[in-house]
């Protein structure tokens, strides 16, 4: 499942050619605040992150992090992915978009399509999602995807309590 499309979007698996994109996306103040600081400060850091985090996940599972491209603009506008994480039993879906493309339905459009495709192609009918307490827009999107709040979780080596959802 290297690429897939919706009416307005194309999603492609993240690759080294996307290093500049992830450098910018992962250093947005909103990304750092709501998702976390991935310590990506240079293009080389982004390339290393893709090599060590994204590629092994994709090679092992067949899915992972996708770059979301606006078809009409031919522009990378965000990312959506399904991830297997240590300490979380159910794969989780996540998304992040540049501010100019938030609130326009792109996150829902890409995440709902990805959720559908991983169920069809990989049998992942149970999906989770996590977000910070103050990120109400993500909470609404997660609920719109059919996930329900279950509990609060704290990852090892972190002290922030996250809202955990499952379908």
State the residue range of the domain holding 77: 3-166
Distance CA 57, CA 125 (A): 19
Residue 138, pLDDT score: 95
Looking at the predicted structure, is the pLDDT value of residue 67 above 90?
Answer: yes
Looking at the predicted structure, is the pLDDT value of residue 158 above 80?
Answer: no
Distance CA 107, CA 57 (A): 22
Q: How many CB atoms lie within 10 A of CB 21?
A: 19
Phi and psi dihedrals of 23, rounded to 5?
-60, -45
| Residue 146: alpha-carbon gap to chain centroid | 16
pTM score = 0.94
**DSSP one-letter string for 137-149:** HHHHHHHHTT-EE
Q: Count the domains in the chain.
A: 1
pLDDT in tens, 84-136: 988 788 999 999 999 999 999 999 999 999 999 999 999 999 999 999 999 99
Looking at the predicted structure, is the pLDDT value of residue 1 above 90?
Answer: no
DSSP at 18: G
Residue 86, pLDDT score: 80
**Rounded mean pLDDT of the chain?**
94
What contacts 62, CB < 8 A, 6 or more positions away? 1, 121, 122
Residue with tokens 């293009």: 43
Split at pLDDT 50, 70, 90, the class of 154 is confident
Looking at the predicted structure, is the pLDDT value of residue 66 above 80?
Answer: yes
Residue 101, pLDDT score: 97
CATH of the domain at 116: 3.40.630.30
Helix (H, G, I), strand (E, B) or coil at 31: helix
């Amino acid at each position: 499942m290297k690429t897939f499309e919706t009416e307005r979007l194309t999603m492609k698996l993240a690759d080294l050619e996307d290093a500049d994109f992830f450098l910018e996306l992962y250093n947005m103040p909103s990304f750092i605040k709501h998702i976390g600081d991935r310590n990506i400060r240079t293009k080389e850091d982004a390339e290393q992150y893709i090599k060590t985090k994204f590629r092994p996940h994709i090679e092992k599972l067949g899915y992972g992090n996708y770059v979301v491209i606006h078809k009409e603009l031919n522009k990378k506008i965000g990312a959506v992915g399904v991830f297997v994480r240590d300490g979380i039993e159910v794969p989780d879906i996540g998304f992040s978009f540049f501010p100019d493309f938030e609130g326009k339905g792109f996150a829902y459009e890409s995440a709902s399509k990805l959720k559908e495709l991983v169920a069809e192609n990989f049998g992942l009918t149970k999906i989770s999602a996590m977000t910070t307490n103050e990120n109400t827009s993500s909470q609404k999107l997660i609920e719109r995807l059919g996930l329900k709040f279950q509990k609060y979780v704290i990852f090892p080596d972190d002290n922030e309590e996250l809202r955990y959802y499952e379908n």
